[in-house]
Amino acid sequence: MTSSKHRLHVLLLLLICSCSIHAAAKKNTTFPCLPDQASSLLQLKRSFIDVDENLASWRAGSDCCHWVGVTCDMASSRVISLDLGGFDMQGRRLDPALFNLTFLRNLSLASIDFGQAQLPLYGFERLTNMIHLNFSKTNFLGQIPIGIARLENLVTLDFSGYYNVLYLQDPSFETFMANLSNLRELRLDGVDISNNGSTWSVVLVQSVPQLQTLSLGQCGISGPIHPSFSRLHLLREIDLAYNKLTGKVPEFFADVPLSNSSRRFTSPFLAPSPLGSPRGSRHRNRHFLASRNPSLLPALPRPSPREIPKSLFALPALQSLLLVSNKLSGPLKDFPAQLSSRVSTICLSMNQLTGPIPKLFFQLKHLKHLLLDSNRFSGTLELSSFWRMTSLSYLDLSDNMISVVDKEVDNVSPSLSNINSLYLSSCNLTKIPGALRYLDNIGELSLSSNQIKGIIPSWVWENWKDQLTRLDLSYNMFNTLDNKSRSLVHMPRLELLDLSFNRLQGNIPIPVTNVEAFLDYSNNNFSSIEPDFGKYLTNSIYLDLSKNKLNGHLPSSICSAKQLDMLDLSYNNFSGSVPSCLIESGELSALKLRENQLHGLLPENIQEGCMFQTIDLNGNQFEGKLPRSLSNCQDLVLLDVGNNWIVDSFPSWLGVLPQLRVLILSSNQFNGTIRNTKGDGPSINNFTSLQILDLASNNFSGNLPKGWFNELKAMTENANDQGQVLGHATDFSTRTFYQDTVTIRFKGNMLIYTKMLTTFKVIDFSNNSFDGPIPKSIGRLVSLHGLNMSHNNFEGQIPSRLSNLSQLEALDLSWNKLSGEIPQDLTSVTSLEWLNLSYNNLSGRIPQANQFLTFSSSSFDDNVGLCGLPLSKQCDTRASIAPGGVSPPEPNSLWQDKLGAILLFAFVGLGFGVGFALSLVLRLRWRIEGWICKHY
């Protein structure tokens, strides 16, 4: 018996060992990637532009399960995860080979820029095992495919990124969400779902009851949040910022449990410095923290509409409160003091909050970031109130109606403060607060738009020279720099220095930095600068010296500033020639030398691939010809060489530039005729983006080619939006967008446009020697706002097709040889505000309808044949025939005068006195009747 038991134990032990060995062997055995999986991945690889060779391991013949970003199922050797998110690559289009990987559970292409390629409409429905799908910041364009709506196992879905590039219309948001009941995280920031109206919240409640994270910023959603939204009790993060929501923050948000610190209603993003951003990134913003992911937070019962409930600040688990740009109004009432509160960030920027800033803010001992800018807070605030807040590192009180005072407090030292970023723009300061000199950690300081006079003290440069990154003292009344006559200041970390719009004199201080720098000295009275200043700007990317009193020659060392992106030396007294390297290198995006005394020939050899977007040389003494190598600047948007001495023919060769919007050649000596690049026939890509063309005051002559205007595509299309401001991006917060300035004649006046919209279209051919008829094809330019063809030799009739210019505001055809009648159809152009047809040979009755009733007689002067209002000359009704061949009815005054004269003659035989009296009575009666009919 004992022996049997022993044998049984041995057998069991062997069986267990055998099973364990088999299991271990099975666990440690891996199979290579299946050939079809590798083939699909290699085909997908063609979708990417991989300059840095991130996918170098993706090679034919190797095991795809070991390729970077690829994870396989060990049992089947099929690809179950493809994570390329964050790789520094670009995309061409998404290859359909992706959809052969039908076992994928995780797919991330986040931050790979596909350049607004279309998403494949079909294929996603094959990825039925998908659990996590992340296409954030991929820059795809168009409708999100319906196939994604069929992925019933999805737990996270992220298409957030670029504003209004993607949309949900067909299918609608409701249809798209219907089958995604397992979804826990939904991020669609920037995706246009506005077609779904205000039902979006109901859709979420019905379709995704287990949702924990919801981010629909800038999605175009509207209306109030439906009460049923409270049923999404698992929600822990909500971002509905920058939409069209109405009403108040729902009361039921207050019922969401906050005991678990991971459940928060604010953005998870919290940067050490709100202004921090990667080196070289575009569009930096001083509201970087606030605008990243502002969110709706819990509201407590019965707040006033659009007011912030005071008890909100007492929530025990609240760490950050971001309610930026939500049209919140009313005062911030004092709230219960929570000295142990864990709140570290409060951002209420860009609302309509009023009243004093609550004093209890100053008792939040863990508060690090306080942003209250761009509201309507009022009252007086002592700066010393913040010195006690030893955790505070970022403070922004800008653009309110408060008055900040610098009051010394005996028991509080500013040296105890850890403030790194201090923004006090528009705070009614009249001096630089003396306490600032004791702030040892200042890295960012803005005192712009105050009323500070006098001297900028030397301690600004000396105390913070090693750590200061941004200094903005613009829009004040400073007149002197106390920098001990030093023109070079060593500030290795300085990224921004803005001294613009002051009254500063003397020598311009140039910071010597080790980082990319934005420097603005414009609109001052500076009279000198280091003779070889260019060699100290090796890290500067933006330099604005415009509107000062600088003179002398431009040093060739300016070309040493290899990082320079924008250079503006306009409105000074610089003289001599322009260093050829400044233009020929083509490394700048914007070059503005307007209104100086520069002369000589323009450099000829501009490099291929030049980066110019703006070239403004207006108001100098340049001569010779336009350099033909300008055609190498494919990104050129604005070219202004007006008011120079250039002698050349019309630059039709510029017509190939695809981005050229503004071409100003006025007041030079251009001559000859306007011809297409292919003669009189139609040309390809002939100024297709042009919106402003100014050829005024040159020596052009001849007939205008009939088909030339047909090629101005930007003017032949009606804009569907309000347009964008013409300009280009810069690298720093205070100038997130550099605006181009254009001076043109419009409505009879020379106007300076500092914010030129891309929808504004103008043609000015005035003061030349053009002749022949005005081409009818101009009538195709339906988005034109201004047309000036005055002071030429045009003849023939005014084309009736000009009535097609439905947006025309100003029309000047004066001082020509035009004849015939004014087209009656022009009265249909109700946008017309300014008209000048004077000094022609026009004849007939002036149209009497719509806008024509508002024009003065000066609009029609010196046209001998014209008659009718507003001219004093009456039309001869026997000779004047109205359009359509029907004689116009005589005015009441005419037949009254004739009948009165007949009666007067008839009554002579009855006695002069009786007849005359009776005729007067009848005339008076008719005039009264006529007046009554006219007014009643």
Q: Looking at residues 165-172, what average pLDDT do you find?
A: 83
CA distance 465 to 819: 72
Among candidate residues 402, 407, 409, 406, the one with its CA nearest the CA of residue 425: 402
Instruction: For residue 59, count other CB atoms closer than 10 A to its CB.
Output: 13
Q: Which residues of 131-150 are buried (b: 16+ CB within 10 A; e: fewer)?
A: bbbbbbbbbbeeebbbbbbb
How far, in Å, CA of 50 to CA of 92, rounded?
11
Residue 409 reports pLDDT greater than 80: no
Question: Does the pLDDT of residue 18 top 60, yes or no?
Answer: no
CA distance 470 to 483: 18
Show Cβ contacts of residue 854 under 8 Å, excluding neighbours closer than 6 positions: none
**Three-state secondary structure readout of 66-95:** HCCCEEECCCCCCEEEEECCCCCCEECCCC
Structural contact between residues 565 and 543, judged by C-beta atoms closer than 8 angstroms: no
Residue 867 token pair: 């008659």
* Lookup: tokens for 693: 């063309």
pLDDT at 248: 52
403, β-bridge pairs? 380
Question: For residue range 512-539, what is the model confidence (pLDDT) as tens digits?
Answer: 899 999 999 999 999 998 888 888 888 9
Query: DSSP string of 483-528?
Result: STT-SEEE-TT--EEE--SS--EEEPPEEE-SS-EEEE--SSEEEE
User: Residue 522: which of 624, 594, 466 has the closest Cα?
Assistant: 594
Label residue 339 by pLDDT band (50, 70, 90): very low
Helix, strand or coil for residue 793?
strand
Report residue 491: phi and psi, to 5°.
-135, 85
For 20-57, the pLDDT digits (tens) are 444 444 444 456 889 999 999 999 988 898 888 899 99
Contacts (Cβ under 8 Å, ≥6 apart) of 11? none
Give the domain ranges of the chain. 533-867, 892-935
Which residue matches tokens 């020939």? 601
- Which one has a higher pLDDT value, 336 or 901? 336
Tens digits of per-residue pLDDT, 636-660? Answer: 999 999 999 999 999 999 999 999 9
Give the pLDDT band of residue 85 (cuts 50, 70, 90): confident
Query: Helix, strand or coil for residue 859?
Result: helix
| H helical segments located in 556-638 | 580-584
User: Tell me, what's the pLDDT at 87?
Assistant: 85
Q: Provide the 10 A C-beta neighbour count for residue 82.
A: 20
Q: State pLDDT tens for residues 843-885.
A: 999 999 888 989 999 999 999 999 999 998 898 875 444 443 3
CA–CA gap between residue 221 and residue 201 (Å, rounded)? 9
Mean model confidence pLDDT for the chain: 79
Q: Cβ distance 584 to 556 under 8 Å?
A: no
pLDDT higher than 50, residue 275: no
Query: Over 60: is that where the pLDDT of 909 sits?
Result: no
Nearest to 267 by CA among 290, 234, 242: 290
* CA–CA distance, 74 with 65 (Å, rounded to integer): 9
Which pLDDT does position 799 carry in this prediction?
A: 94
How far apart are alpha carbons 275 and 264 in whole angstroms? 23
| Residue pointed to by tokens 């507003």 | 870
Helix (H, G, I), strand (E, B) or coil at 575: strand
**Checking DSSP bridges between strand 621-624 and strand 834-836, what pairing results, if any?**
unpaired
Determine the pLDDT at residue 661. 93
Contacts (Cβ under 8 Å, ≥6 apart) of 705: 674, 675, 676, 680, 775
Q: Band of the pLDDT at 497, cuts 50, 70, 90?
A: very high
* pLDDT above 80 for 235: no
Radius of gyration of the chain (CA): 37
Tokens of 79: 């690809």
pLDDT tens per residue across span 577-597: 999 989 988 889 999 999 999
Averaged pLDDT, 166-192? 88
d(CA 553, CA 112): 46
pLDDT of residue 898: 39
Q: How distant, in Å, are the alpha carbons of 743, 785, 788, 862 from that of 747?
A: 13, 10, 9, 19
What's residue 163's pLDDT?
Answer: 67
Q: Is the pLDDT of residue 1 over 80?
A: no
Cα(290)–Cα(320) distance, integer angstroms = 11
- pLDDT exceeds 60 at position 603: yes
Measured CA distances, 534 to 438, 496, 516, 538 (Å): 34, 17, 15, 7
pLDDT digits (tens, 9 = 90+) for 802-831: 999 999 999 999 999 999 999 999 999 999
Q: Is the model more confident about 735 or about 315?
A: 315
Calculate what percentage of the chain has a pLDDT beyond 90.
43
Residue 277 pLDDT > 50: no
Note the pLDDT of residue 663. Answer: 96
Position 314 scores a pLDDT of: 57
Euclidean distance between CA atoms 134 and 138, whole angstroms: 9
Q: Which of 270-274, 333-337, 930-934 has the lowest mean pLDDT?
A: 270-274
Strands 369-371 and 525-528, how do they pair?
Answer: unpaired
Amino acid sitting at position 696: A
Mean pLDDT of all residues in 106-118:
89
Which stretches of 536-612 are DSSP H helices?
A: 580-584
Q: What are the b/e assignments for 157-173, b being 16+ CB within 10 Å?
A: bbbbbbeebbbbeebbb
* pLDDT at site 647: 97
pLDDT band at residue 894 under the 50/70/90 scheme = very low
User: Residue 503: what pLDDT?
Assistant: 95
Q: Give the β-pairing of 70-72 and 79-83.
A: antiparallel
What is the pLDDT confidence band of residue 484, given thresholds at 50, 70 and 90?
low
Q: Would you say residue 598 has pLDDT above 80?
A: yes
Q: What is the pLDDT of residue 532?
A: 82
Chain centroid offset of residue 754 CA: 15
Q: What is the mean pLDDT of residues 598-616?
A: 92
Query: Are the beta carbons of 792 and 768 closer than 8 angstroms?
Result: yes
Q: Categorize the per-residue pLDDT at 485 as very low, low, confident or very high, splitting at 50, 70 and 90.
A: low
Averaged pLDDT for residues 733-753: 73
pLDDT digits (tens, 9 = 90+) for 346-382: 888 888 888 998 887 888 888 899 999 999 999 999 8
Number of H helices, E strands in the chain: 10, 60
H or E segment to which residue 412 belongs: none
Is there a contact between 532 and 507 (Cβ–Cβ < 8 Å)? no
Give the CATH number of domain 533-867.
3.80.10.10
Residue with the larger pLDDT of the pair 688 and 926: 688
Candidates 532, 503, 534; CA nearest to 519 is 534
Round to whole Å and give the CA distance between 656 and 689. 10
pLDDT at 213: 84
Segments in 881-911 forming alpha helices (H): 892-906
C-alpha to C-alpha distances, 514 to 360, 491, 543, nearest whole angstrom: 41, 8, 16
Q: How far is CA 481 from the centre of its chain?
A: 35
pLDDT at 226: 80
How far is the C-alpha of 442 from the C-alpha of 417, rounded, in Å? 10
The residue-averaged pLDDT of 331-341 equals: 62
How many other CB atoms sit within 10 Å of the CB of residue 52?
9
Q: For 411-466, what is each residue's pLDDT tens digit?
A: 556 666 789 999 999 999 999 988 888 888 899 999 999 999 999 998 888 888 88
The pair of structure tokens assigned to 763 is 């043609």
- Where is pLDDT greater, at 733 or 510? 510
The C-alpha atoms of residue 101 and residue 295 are separated, in whole angstroms, by 37
Beta bridge partners of 897: none
d(CA 883, CA 886): 7
Q: Which pLDDT does position 335 carry in this prediction? A: 60
Question: Tokens representing 424?
Answer: 């006090």
